[in-house]
A and B are shown apart, each in its own frame.
Chain A
Amino acid sequence: MELHTLTLITIVAEPVLEERLTRRLLELGATGYTVMDIRGRGTRGIRTGDIPGQGIRIETLVTDEVAEAILEEATASWFPHYAVVVWASPARVVRGDKYVEG
């Protein structure tokens, strides 16, 4: 089967950021995303909800260019103030053209 090589961007963040992050992902060129509720602990240990230790994990499959834009945005706007972790990993995707905008 034909597979496309794309980048899987994974973001772990404070739940309060969900709307803003997902909105920005779409604006930066992602065609979709998945959000999961998670528990965990990080270096900041910042908990903003009334229930401690909760967070969100957002995953999105994007092209290299979009991935680069997301990483730049994260570095400039998200990391300074919020508990956010972002990483990129290569992914081999079925129907890869679905994830390319335009």
Chain B
Amino acid sequence: MSGQEATLLPAADLLRPCPRGVLPLTEILRLNLLSPITLAFALGIFARVVKSEFSLPRQMYTGLGIYLLFALGLKGGVELAKEPLGVIILPVAVTLVLGCIRPLTSYAVLRKLGGFNTDDSAGIAAHYGSVSAVTFIAALTFLEGMREPVEGYLPTLLAILESPGIHIALAIGALKQADRTESMGSVLHEVLTGRTMILLVGGLVVGYFMAPGTWDQVAGFYDGAVFKGALCLFLLEMGVVAGERLGDLKESGLFLLAFGVIMAVIHGVVGVGAGLLAGLSPGGATVLGAMSASASYIAAPPAVRMTLPAANPTLSLTASLAITFPFNIIFGIPLYYQVALWMT
């Protein structure tokens, strides 16, 4: 089958002629920069920088987000059903550990080195303790381009990494303040019943229990070119949203800029190492690394706003959207891939 694809898609093959590990990092970076999703993201930023009035209609942006998450869940569930559950125990365990450690390291660095107050530190740490689903999808797409196989059940890990980090960071913040405005219980409910969890976890369950063969009926819609096309459009709008935040970089300061990059690299490398230790393939470890390096900008912001109203939302959103997200999409993912190959 792959031989047939190679003859059908000579241009694509020309772009990726080498087996894995042979390409130098600069070449991998170049290929990643010239991928449709990175270019679409760059176009979105450009549109914002030149003050174009363009942006995706809000409902379409929301709709594409729903489609991407649900597709991700379904595919992950179908793949999960093919594996004996014992296989995922270790990867799930290290993912949980990552979910618990990342908010703590983020909080400590922000508080001790960055000199942020407890509210802002906890607020930003909640974002960096959670995960960005789009970064996850971008990592999968990148590895597909590199012809690097990955475990099909990875979306399960994405679902697991989403919420513990938010709660741990919010708990730290809440412990340090007297006038909490919202109970942790209602925040827990909010995060666990949010869009991401319903679509992703719900999709995983639906995909897992689908009768054999029925996935093929919908695969054309949820997988392949349609999925990647939708991802491009979504990234275009993400570029606009990130570009919107660029102006806030001045307010957030140099420390946060460095934090958004260095913390991503540290968490990314730790994630790759943890993935390999848990027995993931280099591709799977790269994806876990990208997840670990990423910061939430959908689930975390409302939870933080409700629980820690004194935390400045501009700081956390700028760090996760305008610094860490673009860094991971452009440089981070190829870097974690390279690290995974080095460690193997």
A residues within 8 Å of B by Cβ? 14, 16, 20, 46-52, 54, 77, 80-82
Contacts and interface: CB of A to CB of B under 8 A. Distances in A.
B145 interface: no
Given A20-B182, A77-B181, A81-B310, A48 B297 contact: no
A48 B182 contact: no
B181 A81 contact: yes
Contacts, number: 36
- SS class, residues of chain B in contact with chain A: helix
B306 A16 contact: yes
A52 B181 CA distance: 24
B294 to A, nearest CB: 14
A81 B307 CA distance: 11
The interface size bin for chain B is: 10 to 19
Given A81-B310, A82-B309, A50 B297 contact: yes
Task: List the 4 closest pairs (A to B, CB-CB), nearest first.
Answer: A81-B309, A16-B302, A48-B305, A16-B305
Given A50-B317, A80-B309, 7 more contacts: A14-B305, A47-B313, A50-B241, A51-B61, A52-B244, A81-B181, A81-B310
Contacts of A50: 241, 297-298, 301, 317, 321
A64 B330 CA distance: 57
B55 to A, nearest CB: 8
B127 to A, nearest CB: 12
A64 B244 CA distance: 42
